[in-house]
Structure 1
């Protein structure tokens, strides 16, 4: 991989849907995957967080996420990446919410000029794969090169390091 790399990710710990059940996760699945990817690539790590936290209750969280999607909301974020211009490669991680990524990730992507950068998505899900997230990234980042993403089933994320390694070696 040439150039400086960043892993920007959105994650949700707490109550999540895993293998047909609602369980409390001490660390969100996307964060688990992002930290594996960091060990493999030695890229910098940045967590995308909304100023207004999502509800702890899983069902309420999904309702808020659906409302944000329907309203095309752009939640404010808690922080920004310093010196985004110094990165050539952006690994972008997120859970699949309602067929795409959380609206906070839309905010993140629209905050920066990613022209000429390589954007490489990865997502966690419980059966819906990448959804339409790759095409949504391409719509938002028209001057970036958007690579083929990796979809990791959340309930399998703890054992996904070999899969992540194999995928990351392409870039």
Structure 2
């Protein structure tokens, strides 16, 4: 009998964020922590080797340039990498940046074997929801099955832990 192993993997950015000011823990990191706690799953953070600037405007310029050029910045994974390698179910989180996931998420997706794995995308946003990211993830994660995702406003994830937990619990119960 096989056991379905799960892991929560996310990309997030602290510093100055849209709608919430300057934060120590990014919006998506807060949502990822709530999912990991509710699912009893280990957590892995995707970090960009060259950190984005702390300022919102500077990050915006750099990240938009990455999107325009379809860049794949170098990344490092932090956390329980062994659990990630064994997991067949991945909860994958990211902020929505101009209708898509940040480019470090695609570096992560394109650098792994996804055969036999299921991805549940989740994001923080300020109005766009998941947009077309589930389809983009399916294209980048060859062999993965991509399921229904969860979209939570970044302001909610950052400022309302009860509403965030409720959204996570409802999503996981589906």
TM above 0.5: yes
What is the distance in 2 between the residues matched to 1:86 and 1:32? 24
Aligned to 1:136: 136
Distance 2:103 2:64 in 1: 10
TM-score by length of 2: 0.90
Aligned partners of 1:142 and 1:123: how far apart in 2?
20
Q: How many positions carry a matched residue from both structures?
A: 166
For residue 132 of structure 1, report the CA deviation from its aligned partner.
1.6
Runs of 5+ consecutive residues of structure 1 not aligned to the other structure: none
How far off its partner does 1:39 sit? 1.0
Q: Residue 78 of structure 1 corresponds to which residue in structure 2?
A: 76
Tell whether the 8 Å contact from 2:44 to 2:84 is kept in structure 1 after alignment: no
The aligned residue for residue 121 of structure 1 is: 121
Equivalent in the alignment of 2:9: 8
Q: Given the alignment, which residue of 151, 154, 164 partners 1:160?
A: 164
Unaligned runs of at least 5 residues, structure 2: none
Pairing 1:1-171 to 2, within 5 Å after superposition: 3-18=4-19, 23-79=21-77, 81-82=81-82, 84-157=84-157, 158=160, 159-170=163-174
For residues 67-119 of structure 1, give each alpha carbon's deviation from its aligned partner in whole angstroms, at most 9, with x where no partner exists.
00111111111237336441110000000011110100000001111111010
Cα-Cα RMSD? 1.4
> Cα distance, 1:14 vs. partner?
1.1
So what's the TM-score if we normalise by structure 1? 0.92
